[in-house]
């Protein structure tokens, strides 16, 4: 089936031990604006959260719920990369101004770390207390996570 501009974008979740591509566990359909297709996917370390992000809006699915619950969030239109914090409560977003820390379940930015230039990539240290970024001029930063005011899901 070739997608057309009228088709609804979707993500199929498969359990390769139990499912086949013809019978996915879930088919997560997201109605993003036409021309606003998914730019990138990020899966939380524990596998329970999935982020699909596009130019104007993004969706986090909580895969622990059946069917998965959808959270729509607004991100900076110049974002480059994103990843979940070690405890999955915060979404770290690399964008045109630095790194935004989002309480994704409440659709709000709780902290911003500004940089000179566009931040291209962000990765979490295995200890969950530090993260690294690389900006547009190739500078790599290793930073400690700031204390954040966040709510529980």
Q: 23-53: per-residue pLDDT in tens? A: 545 555 555 444 456 667 888 888 889 888 7
Q: 44-78: per-residue pLDDT in tens? A: 888 889 888 776 678 888 888 888 888 988 887 77
Residue 128 pLDDT exceeds 60: yes
Q: For 86, left (φ over 0), alpha (ψ -120 to 50), or beta?
A: alpha
pLDDT of residue 84: 92
> Is residue 7 very low, low, confident or very high in pLDDT (cuts 50, 70, 90)?
very low
> Is residue 5 very low, low, confident or very high in pLDDT (cuts 50, 70, 90)?
very low
């Amino acid at each position: 089936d070739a997608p057309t501009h009228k088709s609804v974008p979707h993500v199929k979740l498969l359990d390769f031990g139990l499912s086949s591509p013809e019978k996915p566990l879930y088919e997560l359909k997201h109605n993003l604006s036409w021309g606003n297709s998914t730019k990138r996917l990020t899966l939380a370390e524990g596998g329970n959260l999935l982020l699909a992000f596009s130019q104007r809006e993004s969706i986090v699915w909580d895969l622990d719920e059946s069917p998965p619950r959808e959270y729509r969030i607004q991100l900076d239109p110049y974002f480059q990369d994103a990843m979940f914090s070690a405890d999955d409560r915060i979404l770290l977003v690399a964008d045109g101004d630095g790194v935004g820390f989002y309480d994704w379940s409440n659709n709000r930015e709780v902290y911003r770390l500004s940089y000179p230039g566009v931040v291209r990539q962000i990765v979490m240290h295995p200890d969950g207390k530090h993260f690294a970024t690389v900006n547009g001029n190739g500078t790599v930063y290793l930073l400690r996570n700031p204390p954040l005011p966040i709510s529980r899901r």
